[in-house]
Amino acid sequence: MNQTGQDFGYDAGMWGKQIFGEAAQGAGWPAVTTDGTPKSMLDFFHTGIGTEPGAGDAKTLRMRWGGIRKPRAYSHVQLSKDNGWMLPDIDSVGAGNNNWNYSSAEFQEWYTNNHLHFLDDGVDFWWNE
């Protein structure tokens, strides 16, 4: 997540078209190009880049990708305040008056639904900071 106004988006500076070539990976590894989307990169991390000659097993990167999530609103502050989803300002924990209150069932449903696309893209787990 970035702090430039997107609560449920990717930081564009972290993603982009990548080319992983044989020279960088060693003999027998095919070149792979991602299309610039987070899903393409996450697919690459999960599925690997070809097969090991003669072994028949896929060479995978065996990586899992975790998203970092702060418990604060950036682009949905007013919506969250209007719906009573914010902690009282006195409970701001020193991070500003934009901290979500996770005890609301309505908020939990909204929050979860806005994260589903990350799981569909291939984010494996969350680190809630």
pLDDT, tens digit (0-9, with 9 covering 90-100), for 6-40: 788 887 777 888 887 665 555 556 677 889 899 99
74-110 per-position pLDDT tens digit: 889 899 999 999 988 776 666 667 889 999 999 999 9
- Same domain assignment for residues 79 and 96: yes
- Whether 70 and 27 map to the same domain: the answer is no
CA distances from 126 to 35, 58, 115, 116 (A): 24, 27, 10, 12
- pLDDT greater than 80 at residue 49: no
Same domain, 19 and 54: yes
Has residue 5 been placed in a domain? no
Q: Quick check: is 123 in a domain?
A: yes
**Domain match, 74 and 54 both:** no
How large is the average pLDDT for residues 30-52?
78
Q: How far is CA 1 from CA 13, 26, 69, 98, in A?
A: 11, 33, 7, 15
pLDDT at 117: 93
Place of tokens 């449920």: 8
| pLDDT-derived band at 51, boundaries 50, 70, 90 | low
**Considering the domain boundaries, does residue 120 fall inside one?**
yes
If DSSP codes are grouped into helix, strand and coil, which group holds residue 48?
Answer: coil
Of the residues 20, 41, 59, the one at which a domain ends: 59
Domain that holds residue 34: 12-59
124 and 70 together in one domain: yes
Q: Between 74 and 62, whose confidence is greater?
A: 74
User: 123 with 75, same domain?
Assistant: yes
For residue 7, is it within any domain? no
